[in-house]
Structures are given as C-alpha cells and as structure tokens.
Structure 1
Amino acid sequence: MMIYIYAYWISTTLLSLLYLTSAGMYVLKTDWVKQQFNELGYPSYLVIPLSFCKALAVCFILSRFNVTLSDFAYAAMTLHLILAFGAHVGIKKSKDALPALIGLLLITVSFTTQNFVRNLPSPNSVGVDEIINLSRGMNHE
C-alpha cells in the first residue's frame, strides 16, 4: 500500500501549494485579484476573507488535529474549486480553469487516500479499496 502513501502526500502537498500560492497572491496582488473576481461575476470583497480561508483550510488538512474540521476543509475546497472551474468556463476562459481542474484531481486523490496514511481516519472518506471494489462490482452486472 506504499502507492497510497505516496499518492496522498504528493497530492496533498501539491494541493496545499496551490492553495497557499493562491492565498499569497490574493494578499500581494489584491487589486488585480479583485478585478479578476469582478470579471468572473464575484464580489471583490471576498478576496481577503477567501485568502484567509484558503490558508486555514490547508492548516486543517495538514495538521488534522480535528477530523471533522479537516473534512469540512476538504468540502469547502471542493466547493470552491467547482465554483472556480464553472466561473472560468462560464465566461469562455476555459484555459484559466485549468488550475481548478488540477485542484479537483488533487483533492480527489488526497481525500480518497487519506485513511491509509493518517492516524485519525475520516468516517466520511470512501477509500480507494472501496472505489475499486465498487467498480469491479459494476463490471460484473
């Protein structure tokens, strides 16, 4: 099961870097990010609170001092990535949706492999083994 350990840490590290880089950009280039938010149809006052929430979500996932908060952070990140992807595609800037699509892939791998690696398992995570077993069961019908 070493592959799951590598998959978890690589995906979680890349996801964390994506979110921390984004949060940093929101703080360092606030005016530009506010303009981008307006173009996407989102209010610009969300920029600073969202940068704080992004950094906090990474802290919850990496520290995992509370599994419920970690799962909530995964859920919030997933919703954010879906909204970001949809907003970019909605204004015909599909190329700009690539980071959100990559983030969705990373968060899927991270969430589904977390119980193999972390000491406190998430009761909400469907593990890789369950997904494989479900797909095998579907092939036999």
Structure 2
Amino acid sequence: MNTKKLKITYYFSLTVFSAIMLASTIKYFVQYDQMSAEFIELGYNTLIVIPLAIIKVPGLIAVWYRKHRILYEWANAGFFYVLILGFSAHTSISDGRWPISFICTVALTIAYFTEKHLSKKELSQRAQ
C-alpha cells in the first residue's frame, strides 16, 4: 500500500476512534446520572466515570501528537484496555450496546498498526 493510502486509512480510523471517544467523554459529563446507572448495570463502580472521562482527553492528545513515543504507546494501550473491558461488559450482560466498543477497538487497532507502518516508511525514506 502506498504512503498516501496509508495516511488516509490512518487519519480516517483515528478520526472515527477520536469522535467516539470525545462523544463518550461529553456524555459522561452531561449525562452523569445515566452513565453512572449504566456503569452499575455493567458491573463497574461509578467512581471511575469522571476520571475515565478526564483521562480520555490527554490520551487523545497523546495519540494525535505522537511525538513522545512512550506516551503514544501508553495511551493506545490504555484505550485498548478500556475498550476491551467495555466490549466484554456489554457482551456479558447482552444489552446490545457492544457494537460501538467493537467499532472503536477496530478503528484504534487499524490506526495503531497503520501508524507503525507509516513510521517505518518514514524512517526508511530518511535513511536514503
């Protein structure tokens, strides 16, 4: 795949992922009572609703900024972990709301591996 197609794939998947994360962050703050009830239904403590919403913002910045490799990797790992927990919680109670976490996980995975491929291409082009 050429670099242009890789970049389009990367930015599209990262945009889809980011839009879902930002929407959920806003929902956590605006509809706190509803989200707390959903967290209880999923088997999680409501004490994590606000910290989870807050930490998503710097996580998205780290994923988009990509200058500090360690922050980038940790942000991706954190998002992946949260998405897997959300997906498994929704499927375990069969509430039918698992597709959003699945789509978000797929978008994050595509963005992550596409970025890895782009970074390798950029490094090889610099070496030449």
Which sections of structure 2, spanning at least 5 residues, go unmatched? Answer: 123-128
Could you say which residue in structure 1 is the equivalent of 2:114? 113
C-alpha separation in 2, matches of 1:62 and 1:117: 14
1:116 Cα deviation after fit: 4.4
Say which structure, 1 or 2, has more relative contact order (CA 8 Å, 6+ apart).
Answer: 2
1:75-114 to structure 2, matched below 5 A, reads 75-93=77-95, 95-114=96-115
C-alpha separation in 2, matches of 1:73 and 1:58: 8
1:67 Cα deviation after fit: 1.1
Comparing 56-65 and 78-87, the one that deviates more: 56-65
Which sections of structure 1, spanning at least 5 residues, go unmatched? Answer: 122-141
1:63 Cα deviation after fit: 1.3
Number of residues of Structure 1 aligned to a counterpart in Structure 2: 119
Q: What residue identity is the alignment partner of 1:62? A: W
- 4+ aligned runs moved over 6 Å, structure 1: none
SS at match of 2:64: helix
SS at match of 2:97: helix
1:108 Cα deviation after fit: 1.0
SS at match of 2:94: coil
Query: Cα distance 1:41–1:70, how it changes in 2: closer, same or farther (>3 A)?
Result: same
1:119-130 to structure 2, matched below 5 A, reads none
Pick aligned residue for 1:63 from 51, 62, 65: 65
CA RMSD of aligned residues (A): 1.5
TM superposition score normalised by structure 1: 0.80
1:118 Cα deviation after fit: 5.5
Report the structure, 1 or 2, having the larger helix content: 2
Pick aligned residue for 2:33 from 28, 31, 34: 31
